[in-house]
Amino acid sequence: MAKVSVAQAADLTGKSKSTIQRALKSGRLSYSINESDEKEIDTSELERVYGAFPKKVDQEAMVRAELQRAHDMLEMERVKMRCRSLEDQLHMTETQLEDMKDQRDQWQKQAQQLMITNQNSQKQAEDLKQEMREREAREREARKRRMEERMKMMAENENNQQESISEMGGAIWSKIVDKINKIRAA
């Protein structure tokens, strides 16, 4: 089997280093000396004197396990914090969404009111346009009647003037004829 140093023998058996050295001095535990003048003990000799090696508690494994447990706890806390943070964000998002829905509803109401107002304004504008068209049509009719009356008056004036001219012409002609007759008579 393998050979180990006094310190390693103490670790394997779970005994103290001084207990191993006393057993070596008393001869209860046999050993050999290596090239470095150090005592070496065969592991089978250790089992003969102290029995099967006790299960060695691996300090490093314990530390690693403890560190892993601490790491796991920290990770779990980090995950919990992340979950709380996400829940808070979700709550804020839901609140913002509700606010946005309220604003949307208010804008829709306002748009509907404006549309109703716009429709009323449009109806009023159409009524006003129709009234203006009717007024313009009446004014055109009135202008047309005035123009016809003027034309009629002008035609009457022209007839009167022609009659006046004819009468004047007849009067002048009679004067001319009278003068010619007087000249002939003289």
Nearest to 31 by CA among 1, 2, 3: 3
pTM of the model: 0.33
According to the model, what pLDDT value does residue 84 have?
A: 93
Q: Which of 42-46, 92-96, 113-117, 128-132 has the highest mean pLDDT?
A: 92-96
Distance between CA atoms of residues 182 and 169, nearest Å? 19
Note whether 7 and 51 are within 8 A (CB).
no
Give residue 88's pLDDT band: very low, low, confident or very high (50, 70, 90). very high
Give, to the nearest 10 degrees, the angle between helix 6-13 and helix 43-50: 40
Of the options 3.90.1580, 1.10.1660, 1.25.40, 1.10.3470, the CATH number for the domain spanning 1-56: 1.10.1660
Distance between CA atoms of residues 129 and 126, nearest Å? 5
Whether 18 shows a pLDDT value over 60: the answer reads: yes
Note whether 3 and 38 are within 8 A (CB).
no
> Using CA atoms in the order 128, 133, 139, 144, what is the torsion angle rounded to 10 degrees?
180
Domain ranges of the chain: 1-56
According to the model, what pLDDT value does residue 60 have?
A: 62
Give residue 19's pLDDT band: very low, low, confident or very high (50, 70, 90). very high
Average pLDDT over residues 8-37: 89
User: Could you tell me the two tokens for 16?
Assistant: 């103290």
Whether 182 shows a pLDDT value over 90: the answer reads: no
According to the model, what pLDDT value does residue 61 have?
A: 59
Higher-scoring residue by pLDDT: 115, 90: 90
